[in-house]
Amino acid sequence: MATATATATATVASKRFRKGTRRQLKLRMAIDGPSGSGKTYTALRCAFALSPSRKVAVIGTEGSQDDDAAEKYVGLPDPDHAGQTWEFDILHLSSFSPTEYTAAIEEACRAGYEVVIVDSLSHAWEGKDGSLELVGRTPGNSYTAWKDVTPMHRRMVDAILNSTAHVICTMRSKTEYILEEQAGKDGKPKQVPRKVGMAPIQRQGMEYEFDIYGSLDWSHILTVTKTRCPSVDGLTVVKAGAGFMAPIIDWLDTGTVTDPPRIAPKCTDDQCNRIVELAEQLSWKIGRVTVETVKKFGCDALYQLKATEADETITWLEGQVRLAANKKPARKPRGAAAATTAPVEANGNGQHDAAEPATVESTTTTEADTSSAITEPAVPSELTDPLNVPITPGVGPHSDQLDQIVALVNDLVTGGMPRETYREKILAKRGVKSAKELTPEQAAELIDALMAAVDRQTAPDGPDDPPF
């Protein structure tokens, strides 16, 4: 009898349950990040990936009533859908009470929008008429105040969770500075401040309300810190868009769990520092290295390189350093024939400069110098830079720059560039008559231009008149 009674009780109790079925779900997603990390832009990319009909609404709080921050993106080309632009409707809130958010979300659902972006939800906590301000304005103790404000905040959360549209919320994160130890140019460790994003500006535990929660940093890298979709668990992605959303959409529609493409490890700080160090050895501006990486890997900055791409860039730069070392003119003993020395100008201050460069006409070459016919310009025993500070020949930065200019121009003349170009274009364009009149910054810029010209001259498609 006891068994029969227990079975009957279980049967009655089971009437309170229904059979679980797979239905098309609506996404509740949140993105936090510091100012400038790309929260609004990322939210828009994710929203248009979610909305086949492109019916997207933005509840805005950033900016002013007549110039909402999100409105700056209206009409921009959709980076994930060729030939289409971002067109969406905006409701800017002037009061950031949780009740206003609730009403705006419910109104967007009634209007039939597929995706609603709340940009940002932080104002409902810390903005004008937000929860904290409402508590501060309520007479009496804080316990009494929260008794009234908490239900308002809860109704706002319920509006997000019960929405008939997908909801994507952005939240500001608190910004703090931390000290990191990095190696300086002299190889010694030093403390360097770095700005980092911390906890989101919202009620504690708010992130648990969402299906997917991610944090952005200043490199526009999104890290998924909480998710109900197994496909993106722990995912780290640069500039999240349609590719990031594809497995999430599959999970929402069919329950399918797919393995999204994961980005290769990004380059480390040590790799970036090594690239900068090699560029300095070459007297290159880092912009030149960036241009080369853009051409090869499609990156806008060094930090966007993958670790393997950074290694390849380092190998290339190390090769350029070796090449520059091989091109460096060999010292000639005193009394060497004048015909084997590139002309040098000197003035009363002891400054020197390569005049019209000339290639070596001597037929005698040593075994160690069979690959190059360039000789080092003779220099006075004491030199001065443009600020009349004495420098050691061949050691001071400006002296090295002049040596490098002589060698590069000799390379160009050997490759077919008319000698007149040196004065009539290269120097005249910079408003000087000789390289010794250049500042170190101008000399560095000229070296970059000369190196680029040498690269073009030796390119497979033949020489090109350098655009000096």
At 62-72, the pLDDT tens digits run 877 777 888 89
CA distances from 326 to 293, 320, 375 (A): 24, 10, 12
The count of domains in the chain is 3
* pLDDT confidence tier of residue 23, bands split at 50, 70 and 90: low
- Please give the full DSSP string across 63-89, using - where no structure is assigned: EETTEEGGGGGTTPBPTTSTT-B---E
Alpha-carbon gap, residue 468 to 177, rounded angstroms: 44
The listed range with the strongest mean pLDDT (55-64, 258-267, 340-349) is 55-64
* pLDDT confidence tier of residue 244, bands split at 50, 70 and 90: very high
Alpha-carbon gap, residue 163 to 347, rounded angstroms: 80
* pLDDT confidence tier of residue 234, bands split at 50, 70 and 90: confident
Q: DSSP strand E in 296-427: where?
A: 344-346, 352-354, 383-384, 390-391
Q: Does 185 have pLDDT greater than 60?
A: yes
> Taking a C-beta distance cutoff of 8 angstroms, is the pair 108, 184 a contact?
no
| 321 and 239 within one domain | no
| 314 and 214 within one domain | no
At 6-15, the pLDDT tens digits run 444 444 556 7
Give domain status of residue 178, yes or no: yes
Q: Does 340 have pLDDT greater than 60?
A: no
Q: Identify the pLDDT of residue 431.
A: 77
Average pLDDT of the residues in 450-467: 61
Alpha-carbon gap, residue 357 to 409, rounded angstroms: 7
* Percent of the chain whose predicted confidence (pLDDT) is above 90: 28
| 391 and 448 within one domain | yes
| 322 and 342 within one domain | no
Q: Which of 124-133, 199-208, 320-329 has the lowest mean pLDDT?
A: 320-329
Average pLDDT taken over every residue of the chain: 75
Average pLDDT of the residues in 332-357: 43
| 275 and 141 within one domain | no
**Position 139: which residue type?**
P
Q: Identify the pLDDT of residue 411.
A: 75
The tally of CA atoms less than 13 A away on the side-chain side of residue 18 is: 3
| 94 and 43 within one domain | yes
Query: Which carries the bigger pLDDT value, residue 414 or residue 278?
Result: 278
Which among 201, 221, 254 is the end of a domain?
A: 254
At 288-304, the pLDDT tens digits run 777 777 667 776 667 77
Q: Identify the pLDDT of residue 319.
A: 81
Domain that holds residue 171: 28-254
* pLDDT confidence tier of residue 371, bands split at 50, 70 and 90: very low
| 377 and 232 within one domain | no
> Which pTM was predicted?
0.54
Conformational region of residue 186, where left means phi above 0, alpha means psi within -120 to 50, and beta covers everything else: alpha
Give domain status of residue 90, yes or no: yes
Q: Identify the pLDDT of residue 160.
A: 95
Cis? peptide before 219, omega within 30° of 0: no
Give domain status of residue 276, yes or no: yes
Alpha-carbon gap, residue 398 to 407, rounded angstroms: 14
In the DSSP assignment, the letter for residue 180 is: E
Query: Which carries the bigger pLDDT value, residue 444 or residue 244?
Result: 244
**What CATH number corresponds to the domain at position 62?**
3.40.50.300
Q: Does 2 have pLDDT greater than 60?
A: no
Give domain status of residue 261, yes or no: no
